[in-house]
Structure 1
């Protein structure tokens, strides 16, 4: 009797364990089948067929965590670092914000300040998912994609006749966010509309001085789209987006107080016609137009006298023809031709500057028995200033039942921007001047005529024309499932960046300040490993952890250190000595170690999240005058951030609360753009009608 009882209990335990494992495996398989990406090839592909490292953040995780702006979601991803320079930018695989392309539905967003695209411009509370593709993607997207691509997908599920959703959120420092979105589907017509308002009174780490660390602002985003299917073979769709931001600023200088205001406008319009004559052919003609405009004014507080007014206007237009053909037996061929034109006018540029580019690209994809997947691609660009550029890319992936391997190698390029070519700017307060390489000769002549130059360091005729930045990158990695409910993803990367553009002094002014221009550096290398682990201990819990090790350096600096050509001065004794190789910390603003941990709990009506983000120490700048990172005083200490949220669902309504920067970590000196602890509460609703 006892043996039967033990056998029965053991049988129940085994069945329960198998059932739970099957449930977990089913959940994992369902999750994988739903993961479809478009960034890797411009058309939908299942994630397990893609040979490049790519990660997605879906709408559910955005909602659970309470992300509002793009930087909120990206800062919690492995290998991505926020940089606070002329806005909140993104560093990927150790490459600066200049080298990551930011897109909405596959179309590039413009408007960079000193190379940084400010991620706070992008509201993500009404999108479908975010795709993060690492490694150079110039073979598809051209310039600016040396480090990778961030693609925001707004496409909607058209299975519901109508849907209405919204959110109201309020937090610390009068931070408020209001969101309203509506979608409809009626026969052959689908529409989508959304409106977002976001504002805050800012914060101040230095209350004893006039002005705030982060100024008060309000902005709004309006987005609309329409799609029409006149027949099963034809589809016409269009989208439009408007973003406007208003900032009030104030500061104190030399005992005087100044007030100011700033304005930013970002407008995008996209239209496309799609034709699918057969099940194996697809054609798309698309047209994209976008503008970016900023304006800022400052005046003396007491007298009201205007002391500065500046503006920046950029226009970008790109028509393109894209096609894809299924050749059978696992072969797919796709490609496109197009052109893009850019115009820039600004206070600090002479006249209106123009660039244009003609391009063509082709991709071949091959799959065999759901095991092997290979893609080969290349893009040819004919730039109005830099001539011909060829960007190839190749990748392969092999899948087994519980593991997969992938490898990709690609060539990237980035053309110099308008700032590096045509900038003509003098900071009257600090006294320095910056000249683009095309403006050096004329700008220096003006300064010499005015008697402002004390010494010429590089004759204007010897300032070389800039060459495009180029890179070769290798990514090797794979996935492994040691358990049915556990996934391990690893990626090793190496980027070799050639002709990197950097600033250089070309003259010294009478006031002791310098005239700067730009030059190409020979070579920069970033390399490392990214590791992600995801584990589902039960249907209610999902845990994940990520880690990146990064090594970023200039080989020429290491060579000079080995040759004994670089010295450092002791801050106490003022004695000089040669720098040791082990003291070289690589490129500034790069953390050798970074990590994250996330826990998501979902059960019936309740949800909760906790996310930890760690960034190791990094160099902030040169303190001993040898222009490299080699001293302990040149580092910013590492730090840990904690964000939490919890939600309760009541049919069509959701109440959610959260705390960002739970420990109230602050570094007012080196990271003033990092907000203090922020508490928030939101109310959300969602109504829809399912198709019968």
Structure 2
């Protein structure tokens, strides 16, 4: 019944508004803001038919954000997940399904599927673009939930500019930033360097080691662009990130020390040709590597107990073209290939994948109407070809607008799900990728380690890509001159979701696991943003998301009376009631934010409250679903504040993150305690021609 009501609600809601622009952009000129993530073309935000929002450099500076997760956690409907680093959950879909990019090029290096957002410094960028809904029609795999695109390119009109920042906070947390840009008639350059480090923190001082160990990292970034002629332009960008961690832990009375290292390197080069005012050609070449290593040794003896590494290479050349057929029509498209290579401690040898792709788009605009149609075809070396279409439309009026988009997304099986060959000797279990099951099982059988085969290796099916259909409907409404209301309704229908399955039982009672495709997962809900300018200096914004994420097959089994739960006190079993099913784990049904901004020519201040409703942490009663009060993490509220004072070219800033000192050591250990910080910034420019 709820599903039927949802469909009716989606149809009725086409007159309401869409919430995807940043709440701080309630300015008179906001409709002229330019974005590129929606179609790889520069487009004014009010012509884009997909849900997209931006966080610009002024917003980042005002709030004192340092890393990417700092900015994203305060946006409506975006949830941080702490699993193998800080990942991002969008519209109820896991961190695996959101593509993270810099200037339109993908970043690699996912640990257990999660891209760690703490790797990305954002203190020297132009803006962040957040696009929700499947974007596989443009960007391919991993863009099933949406795209986060960090824009670093800047077109400076000044001969040179030098800016920097020094920041210090609690627990010896420091950040130093320096950026320089130069611009001449034909040549422009941009360079930046960032250092970030902390002594970490510890919620359990009675044990050896810290909850968050000390670390230091740096990011170097550079870019050069040169106009060979009015028609030809070449530019290149390079980025280097390195991170060093000191770790320690205690196990069964023994103490261990360790160190970790992460390196992320990117090189991008493009040649652009504009033969006429209507045509544009670009050849781009992108190469990136990601490397991690970790070593642990016994503290007293110094004997090494574990060493692991992970190396990934990614290369993508692409040819892109755009042509304006007429004032109302634009065609664009591209062809390219992805080449990937991975070697790791847990993989047998070096594994390679490749993908060939082609995509095309058509954009049409006439008066108040804007429409976008696109499709992409991918041919992968492992799985069958994939076609990903997308369509969107927008209609603008003076005080309101409507938009709707529908798209198909996909996510290819990763190296872990295909080639992993790992045995945890301490816990006694084994995980084999689907391409390694046959050889891995033969080896375990030859060693006499298998007690029972649950699924013959020949019956382990090859993995299919995960697919989804998604619908976003909404718009924008200005009931008052100083007020804006945004609403977005979404529904994602995910098919062939990849999950683990036991294929054999070892002699020690533990299992051998591999992977399989599940039938269907649905996430649906509504996102609401309201902004109101109280006066010349005061501005208020509020956001809310309702999320319903579930497996239809589980609901059907509950209705049929096939799923039971056991009372922890009486040990009596009974059938699970439909209203007890809480949906997918680690999803908050309700989340919200409230932000207050004070902006004065000299003084600026912000206060931001972030609410996350309760969510399931795991199965406690053994029936593999979320259905009991003991399986939930309690709701919580975070409070962040910042204060700024401007002195011509200089700015003084102070802030408090997690002002209420909220802590949940058991379920949210990666959330740092209260942090005080102070910063000094300068911006020097040469205005002479």
Question: Normalising TM by the smaller chain, what interval?
Answer: over 0.9
Deviations along 1:228-261, one digit per CA (max 9) or x if unpaired, are 1122211110000000000011111111111111
CA change 1:508–1:213 in 2 (3 A) is: same
Shift of 1:27: 7.5
> 1:621 and 2:618 equivalent?
yes
Deviations along 1:391-435, one digit per CA (max 9) or x if unpaired, are 000000000000000000000011100000000111122222111
Determine the structure 2 residue equivalent to 1:11. none
Please give the secondary structure, in 2, of the residue aligned with 1:447.
helix
> 1:347 and 2:345 equivalent?
yes
Indicate conservation of the 8 Å contact 1:92/1:134, yes or no: yes
How many residues align structurally? 665
Determine the structure 2 residue equivalent to 1:307. 305
CA change 1:414–1:27 in 2 (3 A) is: closer
Please give the secondary structure, in 1, of the residue aligned with 2:46.
helix
Shift of 1:32: 2.9
- Structure 2: how far apart are the matches of 1:577 and 1:451? 40
Determine the structure 2 residue equivalent to 1:462. 459
- Structure 1: how far apart are the matches of 2:656 and 2:66? 13
Shift of 1:512: 2.3
Determine the structure 2 residue equivalent to 1:28. 27
Q: 2:627 aligns with which of 613, 627, 630?
A: 630
Shift of 1:505: 1.4
Deviations along 1:175-208, one digit per CA (max 9) or x if unpaired, are 0000000000022100000000000011000111
Determine the structure 1 residue equivalent to 2:491. 494
Indicate conservation of the 8 Å contact 2:285/2:316, yes or no: yes
Structure 2 unmatched runs, 5+: 1-24
- Structure 1: how far apart are the matches of 2:405 and 2:596? 31
Determine the structure 2 residue equivalent to 1:338. 336
- Structure 1: how far apart are the matches of 2:292 and 2:544? 38
- Structure 1: how far apart are the matches of 2:427 and 2:46? 54
> 1:527 and 2:551 equivalent?
no
Please give the secondary structure, in 1, of the residue aligned with 2:28.
helix
Q: 2:470 aligns with which of 455, 469, 473?
A: 473
Shift of 1:541: 2.1
Hey, which bits of structure 1, 4+ residues long, moved more than 4 A? none
- Structure 2: how far apart are the matches of 1:206 and 1:462? 46
> 1:663 and 2:657 equivalent?
no
Q: 1:84 aligns with which of 82, 87, 94?
A: 82
Indicate conservation of the 8 Å contact 2:586/2:617, yes or no: yes
> 1:592 and 2:592 equivalent?
no
- Structure 1: how far apart are the matches of 2:588 and 2:505? 33
Indicate conservation of the 8 Å contact 1:360/1:379, yes or no: yes
- Structure 2: how far apart are the matches of 1:462 and 1:304? 46
Q: 2:676 aligns with which of 659, 675, 679?
A: 679
Shift of 1:442: 1.2
Shift of 1:691: 5.0
Please give the secondary structure, in 2, of the residue aligned with 1:328.
coil
Structure 1 stretch 197-206 or stretch 534-543: which is displaced more? 534-543
Shift of 1:29: 2.2
Shift of 1:387: 2.5
Q: 1:100 aligns with which of 98, 103, 109?
A: 98
Query: Which is greater in Rg?
Result: 1
Determine the structure 2 residue equivalent to 1:608. 605
- Structure 2: how far apart are the matches of 1:499 and 1:387? 14
Deviations along 1:334-391, one digit per CA (max 9) or x if unpaired, are 000111100001111011101101100000000001x000000000111111121100
Q: 1:543 aligns with which of 540, 545, 551?
A: 540
Shift of 1:449: 2.0
Determine the structure 2 residue equivalent to 1:132. 130
Deviations along 1:605-645, one digit per CA (max 9) or x if unpaired, are 11101111000000000000000000000000010000000
- Structure 2: how far apart are the matches of 1:242 and 1:236? 21
Indicate conservation of the 8 Å contact 1:405/1:477, yes or no: yes
1:336-415 residue pairs with structure 2 within 5 A? 336-369=334-367, 371-415=368-412
Relative contact order: is structure 1 or structure 2 higher (C-alpha 8 Å, sep ≥ 6)? Answer: 2
- Structure 2: how far apart are the matches of 1:235 and 1:543? 43
Determine the structure 1 residue equivalent to 2:551. 554
> 1:186 and 2:184 equivalent?
yes
Determine the structure 1 residue equivalent to 2:279. 281
Indicate conservation of the 8 Å contact 1:195/1:223, yes or no: yes
TM-score, normalised via structure 2 length:
0.96
Shift of 1:275: 1.0
Please give the secondary structure, in 2, of the residue aligned with 1:213.
coil
Structure 1 unmatched runs, 5+: 1-25
- Structure 2: how far apart are the matches of 1:541 and 1:505? 57
Indicate conservation of the 8 Å contact 1:28/1:485, yes or no: no
- Structure 1: how far apart are the matches of 2:73 and 2:360? 33
> 1:417 and 2:414 equivalent?
yes
Please give the secondary structure, in 2, of the residue aligned with 1:668.
coil
- Structure 2: how far apart are the matches of 1:218 and 1:297? 17
- Structure 2: how far apart are the matches of 1:304 and 1:667? 34
Please give the secondary structure, in 2, of the residue aligned with 1:278.
coil
Shift of 1:538: 2.2
Please give the secondary structure, in 2, of the residue aligned with 1:29.
coil
Please give the secondary structure, in 1, of the residue aligned with 2:58.
helix
CA change 1:91–1:567 in 2 (3 A) is: same
- Structure 1: how far apart are the matches of 2:148 and 2:94? 14
- Structure 2: how far apart are the matches of 1:586 and 1:241? 41
Deviations along 1:577-611, one digit per CA (max 9) or x if unpaired, are 01011100000000000001111211011110111
- Structure 1: how far apart are the matches of 2:26 and 2:424? 58
- Structure 2: how far apart are the matches of 1:299 and 1:454? 33
Deviations along 1:215-234, one digit per CA (max 9) or x if unpaired, are 11000000000001122211
Determine the structure 2 residue equivalent to 1:218. 216
- Structure 1: how far apart are the matches of 2:230 and 2:74? 41
